[in-house]
Structure 1
Amino acid sequence: MVEISECDDLEIYVETVVLMYCDDLKKKLIGESVIKILALLKVSAAIMFDEGVMSCLMHLEAVPWSEDEEEIVVTCLEELHLPDDDDSVTLILQRVSSEAPSTSSTRNRTDDIFVKLLTGVLQAKDDKARREMKVLIFKLLREEADHDVSKDTLYGLCHRCLTSLVLCLSEVTTQMNDPGNDRGALMGEIAREAENMLWMVDILIEKKMCDEFVKLWADQKELANLHSKIPTMYRHEISKITAQICVGIGRGRILVNRETRFAVLNTWLEALYDDFGWMRRLSSRTLDRKLVEDGLSQTILTLSLRQQQVILMKWFDRFLSKGDDCPNVQRAFEVWWRRAFIRQILAEQDTPQLQITLYD
């Protein structure tokens, strides 16, 4: 960052005096850097050269600033303590801040803006632009620390996405056998709605608000039923939502009770198994297989031993028949085996006297 103090004080003073004899200050200042203008402004204010002050302020209001210069401009204006009734200072500062009557109104305004932005992205027609804006908006939301988007706002959009996804799958089930339909278009429609839902899940996880969505996703019996009626090539994008939830739970970023964790696997795990081969092949660039498998393993291991056994025994049979087209959760299987058998055997061996006493 360049500091104003780096400018030569004597040179700036001389230049300011020369400006006092200039007929067209506006034209004279054109092309000067923001740092140079701020230096001239400080000297003009010190020697009470009002016309110079006004010309510098008009210049600052008209030219663009870099992000580093922005901080210097604001600091300089605050230090100079120019008259409060000076409209030029107000116009300059309005570039970086807006008046807000209260915290609640600021929050409401932030919510309103983000609703429009999020809705616009979700409804975007151009796929490339939608993907780019998803990255940008997610980055902005991650940086938004002072005024978080409200939970009601985000969940309102989640419900819209779920409704759209259900309607989309309902339409596809009725159009699937029609030879006149474009299969590529049908796949694209499902993928677009699934990507929107996945994006909202990412935002909820980032904002630490995803616990209620896990229960909501576990309750999507109708959607899961529609999902099972559609060929894997059309529907596999939807299973990325389940995978992302498992990653969030497995990494401790989503905290839900055991009943909900088991419910979401009970509703969607078979679908994830069925779709995993297509996810692996068609989404190799966007799907981190190891991350998904680790997340699923960790999620399974948070359940009771009995629930772990039910899930892992079914996985064992599936993995033997599908191989790489099934998530590999061998680590979870090993941990469950040691918990269920080896540790219990060791515990029994460590307490022989207790067993004898009980038999006696």
Structure 2
Amino acid sequence: MTIGGGAGNGVPKKRQRVGSNSQLSSTIAVITGSSSDASPTDVYRKPNCLRRSTSHSVLPQSSSYNAPSSVRFNDCATADVILRLYRERSTAFESDDSEYTTAVGQSDVQIYLHSDVIRQSKYFAAVLSDRWQKDSDDVGSGKIYRLNLGVPATACSINNHWEVLQLLYTNDFSNTITSVSIALSLLPVALELLFEDCVRACVRFLEVVPWSEEEEKSVLSLMPFLGEEDSKELLARVSHSDNDTPEEMLQGLILAAMHNHPNMAFAKAFVAKLLRDFSSRESARRVLDRAFETSLKVVKELLEEYSNPDLRGDHNETEAIQRLNLHKAMTNARHLLWLIERMIELRMADKAVKDWSDQASFTADLQRTFRDDAWRNIVPGLPALVLRCTLKLANAVTSGSILAARQVRMKLVKDWLPVLIVCKDKIPAMLPSHPSPYRELEETFLRIISTLPMLDAQELLQQCLSFSTRNVEDCPHLVSAFKTWFRRANRSPQAENLY
């Protein structure tokens, strides 16, 4: 923008063609304007001598000013400042004036202002000071200041400047700033003119209303030009501290969906979608691993308390505690199954399989619990639920979605096979169309055994005889597993050396 030069009459007129590097013959100041394609952050860049600062020694502090009733905006009869607003060219190769004016609207306008009023703007206070202002016209007993102000060559730039200049007279911010788009249009101009009251009004409005994604980008682009106090609330909305990370937010959502939300099924479905769409797979993996470890620990502790009760004290009280432990174990086992399903869906269950395969004490507690029939009337579905967790992980191993090491595969079957054997007859037979989870887990364990070295497979297959039923025809999976082992065992060493 350029201050100085002549101004025309009060009728808006077409700006004269100038090149991109032209300079006005002002002796006051030259401030470079932005091009038509400038970003919002480029619109109001000023030289250091006019950069917005609350501690600037030359510019007075802004305060609300109520213009006298006799002083009106754009009143040529009483004005002592004639301001010419003009759109600046982006290049020296613009089309002719008529095409330019048609494309972007009015490109030159003259406004009549009053120096006492516009000094609320620290920018105008500096321009009108004796230090800057040298040339003026004497009209009668007063001075007439003639100023030029270049604005970006955008469709609404003159309108936005007009609105801000009018606010110097009315201070009617509440009725003017009524939307985010208006606040974002006026704020760069208020910053450019160092009109502090208007800046605060725009910022205050932006603090308390929602933004669209595009509006948020515009707010962020303006942040560097706001003071620390002005931007504090805006920054708090769009930035997080070290202790408020996306991982912790996701962790909190998982815990809330599992434990606190009354409509748990819908909450879990929503969180599952968030996990699928989460931007960082590693962050999602860490969150799920922590949640899995926590839930598994809770279930283990509850089963340990149940299978090793403290028999001191009142018998009825002990029995009530035992029932409560089983109910809590059942609830947390459901959460554990949901977590396992999410981890498998996202192919992030590697650590879960490793942890699940190393649970000798947990599986021992489960065996003691299920050998006692007391659980039947309290949590009849607990055995099926616990082994369904095992089945999900074991199936992920056999399908290759989890590339588990040999020791992990070995331990998975070795630790959980005894639990399967104890539980096999603890659930009524299912309909043929709904195969028992125990039969599914038998088949999956046998497939895992087929991936192990011969000696390990021999040890585990001997424990699988309980998979057999009254009729041989009812256990083809077991027959097939032994046939495979014997076929490999009968392979001669000489034939193996050929490969």
TM-score by length of 1: 0.62
Cα offset, 1:303, TM superposition: 2.5
Equivalent residue, structure 1, for 2:454:
305
Equivalent residue, structure 2, for 1:357:
none
1:91 counterpart (224, 233, 238): 233
Counterpart check, 1:341 vs 2:487: yes
Cα offset, 1:162, TM superposition: 1.7
Equivalent residue, structure 2, for 1:197:
336
Q: Distance in 2 between matches of 1:96 and 1:294?
A: 52
Distance 1:155 1:345, change over 3 A: closer
Q: Is the 8 A contact 1:190 1:237 kept in 2?
A: no
Cα offset, 1:168, TM superposition: 5.9
1:257 counterpart (390, 394, 408): 408
2:368 counterpart (225, 233, 239): 225
Cα offset, 1:260, TM superposition: 1.8
Tell which structure's C-alpha radius of gyration is larger.
2
Distance 1:309 1:36, change over 3 A: farther
Give the secondary structure class of the aligned counterpart of 2:211. Answer: coil
Equivalent residue, structure 2, for 1:242:
390
Counterpart check, 1:53 vs 2:199: yes
Equivalent residue, structure 1, for 2:420:
269
Paired AA for residue 27 in structure 1? N
Cα offset, 1:55, TM superposition: 2.5
| Correspondence list, 1:60-209, <5 A | 60-66=206-212, 68-69=213-214, 72-73=217-218, 75-78=220-223, 81-85=224-228, 87-100=229-242, 123-124=259-260, 128-136=262-270, 143=278, 145=282, 148-149=286-287, 155-167=293-305, 191-199=330-338, 201=340, 206=348, 208-209=350-351
CA offsets 1:95-144 (integer angstroms, 9 cap, x no match): 122333xxxx678x966x777766666654x6x53444445556666736
Q: Distance in 1 between matches of 2:335 and 2:493?
A: 50
The structure carrying a bigger helix percent of its residues is 1
Cα offset, 1:36, TM superposition: 5.2
Q: Is the 8 A contact 1:214 1:264 kept in 2?
A: no
Deviates more, 1:115-124 or 1:213-222: 115-124
Distance 1:340 1:245, change over 3 A: same
CA offsets 1:53-81 (integer angstroms, 9 cap, x no match): 33222222111234x34751454235xx2
Paired AA for residue 238 in structure 1? V
Q: Distance in 2 between matches of 1:290 and 1:74?
A: 60
Distance 1:138 1:158, change over 3 A: farther
Equivalent residue, structure 2, for 1:214:
356
Q: Distance in 2 between matches of 1:164 and 1:347?
A: 51
Q: Is the 8 A contact 1:294 1:329 kept in 2?
A: no
Paired AA for residue 381 in structure 2? Y
Cα offset, 1:89, TM superposition: 1.3
Q: Is the 8 A contact 1:57 1:88 kept in 2?
A: yes
Q: Is the 8 A contact 2:257 2:267 kept in 1?
A: yes
5+ long unaligned stretches in structure 1: 353-360
Distance 1:318 1:334, change over 3 A: closer
Distance 1:288 1:129, change over 3 A: farther
CA offsets 1:169-223 (integer angstroms, 9 cap, x no match): 789xx99xx9xxxx9x999665423213334555777475325522443432022
The percentage of counterpart residues that share the same residue type is 16
Q: Is the 8 A contact 2:303 2:365 kept in 1?
A: no
Paired AA for residue 265 in structure 1? W
Distance 1:57 1:223, change over 3 A: same
Paired AA for residue 416 in structure 2? L
Q: Distance in 1 between matches of 2:334 and 2:222?
A: 46
Q: What count of residue pairs does the alignment treat as equivalent?
A: 317
Distance 1:259 1:309, change over 3 A: closer
TM-score by length of 2: 0.48
Distance 1:227 1:13, change over 3 A: farther
Paired AA for residue 90 in structure 1? K
5+ long unaligned stretches in structure 2: 1-38, 41-103, 105-153, 310-314
Q: Distance in 2 between matches of 1:75 and 1:289?
A: 57
Deviates more, 1:45-54 or 1:57-66: 45-54
